[in-house]
Homo-oligomer: A and B are copies of this chain.
């Protein structure tokens, strides 16, 4: 396995050889969810993508500290209904209760997609002190100014003195000035329209607010990531990730805040995932072109002909590179389901193959090794999951050839077989985190055992021309969506 990992860096707009700041260790920060609504499918794609990246970095033997925040500073307002008496605190809306609910829902969805938990999951509201201190540092360094209890970041002064503003997003400060000129009137507290709030004075009906040197208020949205990445990864770390839509203004302002407070560009490599489309268009609630993860799993939506299991959806996501847009269509999902089943079946069959090693021909071993090497090379090439999958599918063809006897297995060496088996384990379990959710579920081989018995009984019934029993088995299998497949090596089964 080669270690020459290359990643596309949004900051330089090119692919670069990855070099960690401290040999053997990687610090990675990814912008997490806002927990005041259910997680979108597009967010799921982003977090699945970074989970694959995290898992692959660990396969490369890096010690990774993966920090993904939870944005729980909510902008909920008091609904004004004093439901009971003035003292009836219990009857009022508590933003953290809402945040906890959606935070739990988010974790559940991430579990459904079989992603790993980050090393640290800091909450924005849990780091108000750190954010207040960062605002003070920015003010002390001359890049922040206070106005009526709110504090703003002085983008023009920062741009002029450091030349750093706009580097990540490619925006030019002059354009920004023009772009936002129309909004100037509303933003009268700001010196320049491109300035942004790092501390906001709270209105009376704002529910989440904290004491600060400037006002009772709350931190600006961009600030939390700067404060939390610095706290847990230091002022300078390896990888910062997030969705493409966060590049501007969120990440651009994050960079400005970090440099403004600590004189340091926070991250060496900036990685951005691309958008999830549906039927070629951006998902949008207003025109009905949208689907939730749950609707996708159950099939309860006009946009799909049936439900797709979470692992099929995940496999579908892996079929595109994280930097490409991914277009969700029913046809593409149907195709993904087929491909996923084929991959899973080969993975299962691979465990049963034994070597004969009676031939001296080395060609099959060389061919297999070539695809294995290529699969890792694809992952090393900016985590190219679709290309790595295509190498695995070349191996699936070879495995299927062995199983159905159409391919000569006599030259397969024990070493190659083991390498093939470990490659499938590493890719399926460690890198992709794909588990077979089309089969029996986690019940300790109970379904496998029962199916063995049923297949035996069916075989015997057929031999004895007991068509009643074999028809009964056939009907029940149909009812339970189980497909039996008779082959040279006996009967196997899969879920439809």
Please report A residues at the B interface, Cβ cutoff 8 Å.
21-27, 63, 65, 84-85, 87-91, 94, 96-97, 100-101, 104, 117-123, 125-129, 132-133, 210-211, 232-234, 237, 440-443, 446-447, 449-454, 456-457, 460, 468-469, 472-473, 476, 479-480
Given A120-B97, A129-B210, residue A90 in contact with residue B447 (CB < 8 A) = no
The residue from B450, B460, B480 contacting A469, defined by CB atoms under 8 A apart: B460
Measured CB to CB, the nearest residue on chain B to A26 is B90
Q: Please determine whether A94 and B120 come into contact, CB atoms closer than 8 angstroms.
A: yes
The residue from B91, B123, B128 contacting A22, defined by CB atoms under 8 A apart: B91
Q: Please determine whether B119 and A100 come into contact, CB atoms closer than 8 angstroms.
A: yes
Least Cβ distance of A297 to chain B in Å? 13
Tell me the bound Cα distance from A24 to B90 in angstroms: 9
Measured CB to CB, the nearest residue on chain B to A27 is B90
Q: Please determine whether A472 and B447 come into contact, CB atoms closer than 8 angstroms.
A: no
Given A90-B233, A96-B232, A104-B117, residue A450 in contact with residue B480 (CB < 8 A) = yes
Measured between beta carbons, the chain B residues less than 8 angstroms from A211 are 129, 133
Measured between beta carbons, the chain B residues less than 8 angstroms from A21 are 87, 90
Measured between beta carbons, the chain B residues less than 8 angstroms from A210 are 129
Given A21-B90, A90-B27, residue A480 in contact with residue B449 (CB < 8 A) = yes
Tell me the bound Cα distance from A442 to B441 in angstroms: 7
Given A123-B123, A446-B480, A447-B446, residue A90 in contact with residue B65 (CB < 8 A) = yes
Least Cβ distance of A121 to chain B in Å? 6
Tell me the bound Cα distance from A133 to B237 in angstroms: 33
The residue from B25, B97, B128, B454 contacting A454, defined by CB atoms under 8 A apart: B454
Q: Please determine whether A121 and B94 come into contact, CB atoms closer than 8 angstroms.
A: no
Tell me the bound Cα distance from A63 to B88 in angstroms: 13
Measured between beta carbons, the chain B residues less than 8 angstroms from A469 are 457, 460
Least Cβ distance of A435 to chain B in Å? 14
The residue from B121, B441, B460, B472 contacting A453, defined by CB atoms under 8 A apart: B472
Q: Please determine whether B449 and A476 come into contact, CB atoms closer than 8 angstroms.
A: yes
Measured between beta carbons, the chain B residues less than 8 angstroms from A133 are 211
Tell me the bound Cα distance from A125 to B232 in angstroms: 13
Tell me the bound Cα distance from A443 to B104 in angstroms: 23
Q: Please determine whether B234 and A22 come into contact, CB atoms closer than 8 angstroms.
A: no
Tell me the bound Cα distance from A28 to B63 in angstroms: 41
Least Cβ distance of A106 to chain B in Å? 12
Q: Please determine whether B446 and A473 come into contact, CB atoms closer than 8 angstroms.
A: no
Least Cβ distance of A245 to chain B in Å? 27
Tell me the bound Cα distance from A91 to B368 in angstroms: 38
Q: Which of the listed residues A117, A127, A129 has the most CB atoms from chain B within 10 Å of its own CB?
A: A129
Q: Please determine whether A456 and B443 come into contact, CB atoms closer than 8 angstroms.
A: no
Measured between beta carbons, the chain B residues less than 8 angstroms from A101 are 119
Measured CB to CB, the nearest residue on chain B to A116 is B104
Least Cβ distance of A459 to chain B in Å? 11
Least Cβ distance of A215 to chain B in Å? 14
Q: Told that A89-B233, A447-B450 touch, could you supply 4 new A-B pairs with CB distance under 8 A?
A: A89-B234, A100-B120, A125-B126, A453-B472
Measured between beta carbons, the chain B residues less than 8 angstroms from A120 are 94, 96-97, 100
The residue from B24, B91, B454 contacting A450, defined by CB atoms under 8 A apart: B454
Measured between beta carbons, the chain B residues less than 8 angstroms from A456 are 472
Measured between beta carbons, the chain B residues less than 8 angstroms from A449 are 476, 479-480
Least Cβ distance of A109 to chain B in Å? 14
Measured CB to CB, the nearest residue on chain B to A89 is B234
Least Cβ distance of A440 to chain B in Å? 6
Nearest 9 A/B pairs, CB to CB: A126-B126, A25-B90, A441-B443, A89-B234, A450-B450, A453-B476, A22-B88, A449-B480, A96-B120
The residue from B65, B94, B128, B441 contacting A65, defined by CB atoms under 8 A apart: B94
Measured CB to CB, the nearest residue on chain B to A72 is B126
| 12 A-B pairs (CB sep. < 8 Å) | A89-B233, A96-B120, A100-B117, A100-B120, A126-B126, A446-B480, A449-B479, A450-B450, A450-B454, A452-B476, A457-B469, A460-B469
Q: Which of the listed residues A88, A96, A440, A472 has the most CB atoms from chain B within 10 Å of its own CB?
A: A96
Measured between beta carbons, the chain B residues less than 8 angstroms from A24 are 91
